[in-house]
Structure formats: C-alpha cells, structure tokens
Amino acid sequence: MTPDRTSPRQRSPRKAWTPGAFAALALLGLPASVLAQDEGTAPQVSCFETVKQGGLSDEYSATQLCRGARSNAPAKCFLRVQEDGSLTQGQAVQLCQFATAQDNPASCYLQAKSKSFSDDSRLIQLCQPPVTQFLRYCPVYVQ
C-alpha cells in the first residue's frame, strides 16, 4: 500500500467532513440543503436564473429577490404571484424574498386575497415569512 503523498492542503475539503461534523452543524440550525451543497449551482444563482427566465427583466429586483436564497423558493413564489397580476414587481419581491421550501407566502397571499378585502400591503405583511427567523443566519461580527 502506498502512502498518501498529498499534503493536507491539497486534499479535497469534502474528505474532512464526517457525519459527526454535519450533525454538529445541523445542531447550529443550518438546513441540510445548505450543508450538503458543495457542488453544482449555488441556490442564489439558480433562483436568479429561474426568475430571469420567468420574465423578471430587472436585474436589481432579481438580485434583491434571490440574495441569500437557500433554494428556488423565492423565484417560484415571485412567479406565482406575478401570474395573479395584482402585485407590482416591488411588492412581489417584498413578499417572496425570504421564502423557503418550508413556507409558502404566495399561497398565503392568494388565499388571504380571496377571503378578505384588505389592501395588498397588509396582505403582504400578513404573509411574509418572519424576518427574525432569517436573522439567525446573518453573520455576527466579533470585535
């Protein structure tokens, strides 16, 4: 058997990830999809491409929508509420930019709209995913 001649710096970083390391990171609250993703298209890029192909021509809005996305959920949400036609692009971005696979702000908005006479801004506030939940993924800068 020949010894491994690669230095630790030349080895694939994937080899360093053990099941225990994934379990420890999962305890920190990181979703499995983020932990397992080390190859392929980044979810932010996939989201951006999906929404651009779906007809959002404004790159600034597409960037705002998909910034920090962990899946295609913001793009799917945006495209769904745009089909309805009652929201402006800005309102649809506001509603969908924090969407995840676990929540469905588009369905919430469309159901609430069909059952109430409230204005769109109140329905957006009602159906937006809770921003505080996503703040836990923001980096904390230590001085």
Tell me if 26 is assigned to some domain. Answer: no
Tell me if 141 is assigned to some domain. Answer: no
The one-letter amino acid at 143: Q
Tell me if 61 is assigned to some domain. Answer: yes
| CA atoms of 29 and 46, how far apart (whole Å) | 23
| CA atoms of 75 and 84, how far apart (whole Å) | 15
Count of structural domains within the chain: 1
Tell me if 37 is assigned to some domain. Answer: no
Which mean pLDDT values do the consecutive 10-residue runs of the chain (143 residues) have? 48 43 43 51 93 91 92 94 89 91 90 87 88 58 55
Instruction: Give me the pLDDT at residue 26, please.
Output: 45
| CA atoms of 73 and 95, how far apart (whole Å) | 12
Are 127 and 96 contacting, i.e. CB atoms less than 8 angstroms apart? no
Are 70 and 43 contacting, i.e. CB atoms less than 8 angstroms apart? yes
Instruction: Give me the pLDDT at residue 29, please.
Output: 47
Per-residue pLDDT tens digits for 73-104: 999 999 999 998 889 999 999 999 989 888 88
Tell me if 107 is assigned to some domain. Answer: yes
Q: What are the CA-CA distances from residue 1 to residues 4, 5, 39, 140 (Å)?
A: 9, 12, 30, 46
Residue 23 tokens, joined: 């379990």
Using the 8-state DSSP alphabet, how is residue 129 labeled? Answer: P
| CA atoms of 98 and 73, how far apart (whole Å) | 9
Tell me if 121 is assigned to some domain. Answer: yes
Q: Domain containing 78: what range?
A: 43-135
Instruction: Give me the pLDDT at residue 60, please.
Output: 93
